[in-house]
Chain A
Amino acid sequence: MLIKILLIAFLATFFLYFINNSTKIRAKAWQKIIIFILPFLGIVSVVWPDGLNMIAKQLGIGRGADLLLYFLVVVFLFFGAKVYLKFKEVSIKQDKIISKIALLEKEEEE
Chain B
Amino acid sequence: MKKYSDVAIIIPAYNEGAVIRENVLNVLDRFENVICINDGSKDNTLEELLKTNAQTLNHLTNIGQGGALETGVKYALKNSKIKYFITFDSDGQHRIVDAEKMIEKIKKEDLDILIGSRFLDEKSNIPGLKKLILKMATVFTRMTTGLKVTDTHNGLRVFNRRFAEKVDLKNFGMAHASEFLEIIKNNKFKYSEIPVKINYTNYSKSKGQPIINSVNILFDLFFNKKG
Contact = CB atoms under 8 A, between A and B. Distances in A.
Contacts, number: 38
A55 interface: no
B74 A103 contact: yes
Q: Which of B37, B55, B61, B63 counts the most chain A CB atoms within 10 A?
A: B63
Given A92-B170, A106-B57, A106-B75, A99 B227 contact: no
Contacts of A105: 57-58
B92 interface: no
The interface residues of chain B, by DSSP majority, are classed as mixed
A89 B224 CA distance: 12
Interface string B112-147: 000000000000000000000000000000000000
Contacts of B58: 102, 105
Q: Which of A88, A92, A95, A101 counts the most chain B CB atoms within 10 A?
A: A95
Q: Which of A89, A98, A103 counts the most chain B CB atoms within 10 A?
A: A98
Nearest to B35: A106
B63 A98 contact: yes
Contact of B57 (A88, A89, A94, A103): A103
B59 A98 contact: yes
Contacts of A88: 227
B61 A98 contact: yes
Given A102-B59, A105-B58, A106-B57, A92 B75 contact: no
B227 A92 contact: yes
A23 to B, nearest CB: 30
6 contacts: A92-B227, A98-B59, A99-B59, A99-B70, A102-B71, A106-B75
Given A88-B227, A98-B60, 9 more contacts: A92-B172, A92-B227, A95-B64, A98-B40, A98-B61, A99-B59, A102-B71, A103-B57, A105-B57
